[in-house]
């Protein structure tokens, strides 16, 4: 086994992913990942049909992937680790063995977490490490390292067999858990609202947020579609500071009275004042529409802040 090659490929893969995330954002298209990058004349896809992917020139797995409707019960085990299921029921299957080699040598891997199906889109977590192998449960246990710390821990070249320390991994796993939940929430909310602002109908995804109705800092601020609305950056900010709200029964926007009385430039007039009384666009499926009780709580705060 050529450990220098294993680390060299990983260094190129991580750098390529950094560049793609700068270009395209935190969620990457499956087609881009299926094509991958070039390494010394070899095309290196990162997303393939199998969940565990080992390029032909390597001995150890490079990527671990979940599909949007995966039959496997991958999940976070508390805040400190993630359970990734073997493919199939044979611990000695070639792809499970490839992941096991990565574990034995504490090689960093790339985790692709599906957050949308058509087209497939993935949140990238890198580097991740397999920290335990449980053949009886047909599962690996993973921990993550913050991407910005990866090169500081030696994880991208000449890594020791122990890799990053346990506290770094626990911290990274907590960050990864939060990122995956928020990215999944955003994709589901934008999909339910047909990728447009519920208030002004703006259709540019890079200017859209999945706004929480009950804040995510609240213990009831679950990352579920009925606790969200697709809003552009301006209307998300206005909603969060109670410059406007949504009537829980009619879904009509109401703008703070003091703002309606102001005279300013076109943004205030067309971006906020002219929204007053307009009904927001809501998802077609009733279970995805804004939860009236959550809207009622925001509406009450809006009235109190007037």
| Domains in the chain: boundaries | 3-188, 194-305
The reported pTM is: 0.73
CB-based contact 12:46 (threshold 8 Å): no
Note the pLDDT of residue 259: 93
Q: Quote the tokens at residue 102.
A: 């990565």
Q: How many CA atoms lie within 13 A of 92 on its CB side?
A: 0
Note the pLDDT of residue 287: 94
If we measure between CA atoms, which residue out of 91, 108, 101 comes closest to residue 143?
108
122 strand-pairing partners: 28, 114
- How far is the C-alpha of 31 from the C-alpha of 119, rounded, in Å? 8
Per-10-residue mean pLDDT of the chain, 306 residues long, equals: 95 95 90 95 91 95 84 62 88 95 95 86 90 92 73 39 64 76 88 96 94 88 92 97 96 95 91 96 95 96 89
The angle formed by the CA atoms of residues 84, 90 and 93, to the nearest 5 degrees, is 85
Alpha helices in the chain (DSSP H): 3-24, 30-35, 94-104, 147-150, 166-192, 233-240, 257-261, 266, 292-305
If we measure between CA atoms, which residue out of 235, 229, 195 comes closest to residue 211?
229
> What percent of the chain shows pLDDT beyond 70?
91
If we measure between CA atoms, which residue out of 285, 281, 170, 303 comes closest to residue 224?
285
Residue with tokens 């309606």: 260
Q: Quote the tokens at residue 248.
A: 């829980």
The angle formed by the CA atoms of residues 226, 228 and 229, to the nearest 5 degrees, is 115
Cβ-count burial 226-249 (b if 16+ within 10 Å, e if not): bbbbbbbebbbebbeebbbbbbbe
Residue-wise DSSP of 24-55: H-SEEEHHHHHH-EEETTEEE-S--SSSEE--
Note the pLDDT of residue 56: 93
Note the pLDDT of residue 160: 39
Region for residue 291 given its phi and psi (left: phi exceeds 0; alpha: psi -120 to 50; beta: otherwise)? beta
């Amino acid at each position: 086994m050529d450990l220098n090659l294993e680390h060299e490929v990983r260094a190129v893969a991580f750098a390529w992913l950094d560049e793609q995330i700068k270009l395209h954002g935190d969620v990457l298209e499956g087609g881009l990942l299926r094509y991958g990058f070039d390494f010394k004349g070899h095309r290196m896809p990162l997303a393939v049909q199998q969940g565990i992917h080992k390029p032909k020139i390597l001995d150890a797995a490079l990527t671990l992937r979940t599909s949007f409707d995966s039959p496997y019960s991958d999940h976070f085990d508390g805040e400190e680790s993630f359970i990734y299921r073997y493919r199939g029921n044979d611990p000695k299957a070639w792809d499970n063995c490839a992941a096991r080699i990565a574990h034995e040598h504490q090689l960093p891997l790339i985790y692709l977490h599906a957050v949308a199906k058509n087209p497939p889109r993935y949140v990238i977590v890198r580097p991740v490490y397999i920290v335990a192998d449980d053949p009886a449960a047909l599962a690996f246990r993973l921990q993550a390292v913050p991407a910005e710390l990866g090169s500081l821990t030696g994880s991208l070249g000449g890594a020791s067999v122990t890799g990053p320390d346990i506290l770094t991994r626990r911290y990274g796993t907590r960050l990864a858990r939060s990122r995956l939940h928020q990215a999944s929430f955003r994709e589901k909310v934008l999909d339910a609202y047909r990728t447009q602002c519920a208030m002004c109908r703006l259709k540019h995804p890079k200017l859209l947020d999945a706004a929480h109705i009950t804040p995510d800092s609240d213990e009831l601020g679950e990352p579920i579609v009925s606790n969200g609305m697709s809003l552009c950056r301006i209307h998300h900010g206005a909603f969060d500071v109670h410059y406007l709200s949504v009537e829980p029964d009619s879904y009509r926007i109401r703008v703070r009275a003091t703002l309606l009385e102001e005279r300013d430039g076109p943004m205030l007039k067309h971006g906020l004042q002219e929204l007053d009384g307009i009904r927001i666009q809501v998802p077609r499926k009733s279970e995805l529409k804004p939860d009236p009780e959550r809207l009622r709580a925001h509406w009450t705060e809006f009235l109190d802040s007037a």
